[in-house]
């Protein structure tokens, strides 16, 4: 957690207004790293999405609409979990795409 705070949070928060792809990548990088260090079996994703919500608000964006419930949620959950796994391997672009789409849904 000390490394997460010093190497990730200090550089990425507060999340500043920027073009949507840049904010989405910032959310993805913080999200993936937090999931790697979160110490509990349950609640990892909820906590990480809550932090992403706060960061989106800091950047002047609406709360992301993740779409993890309701119509189309099965495919989005699969994409989210696959993107998180890629984030563990330092490939955050799929997770950034997920956040960008979530923010675009919220703005629509």
Q: Which of 62, 54, 48, 61 is nearest to 4 (CA)?
A: 48
Say which CATH architecture domain 2-107 belongs to: Orthogonal Bundle (1.10)
Q: What is the DSSP string of 58-82?
A: HTT-PPP----SSTTHHHHHHHHHH
Confidence at residue 81, expressed as pLDDT on a 0 to 100 scale: 94
Confidence at residue 52, expressed as pLDDT on a 0 to 100 scale: 97
Confidence at residue 14, expressed as pLDDT on a 0 to 100 scale: 95
pLDDT, tens digit (0-9, with 9 covering 90-100), for 9-62: 999 999 999 999 999 999 999 999 999 887 677 778 899 999 999 999 999 999
**Stated pTM of the model:** 0.92
């Amino acid at each position: 957690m000390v490394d997460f705070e010093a190497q990730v949070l200090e550089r990425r928060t507060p999340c500043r207004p920027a073009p949507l792809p840049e904010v989405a990548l910032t959310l993805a990088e913080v999200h993936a790293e937090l999931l790697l260090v979160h110490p509990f079996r349950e609640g990892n994703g909820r906590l990480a999405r809550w932090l992403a919500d706060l960061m989106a608000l800091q950047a002047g964006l609406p709360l992301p609409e993740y779409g993890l419930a309701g119509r189309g949620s099965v495919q989005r959950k699969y994409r989210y979990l696959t993107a998180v796994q890629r984030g563990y391997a330092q490939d955050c672009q799929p997770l950034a795409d997920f956040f960008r789409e979530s923010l675009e849904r919220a703005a629509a």
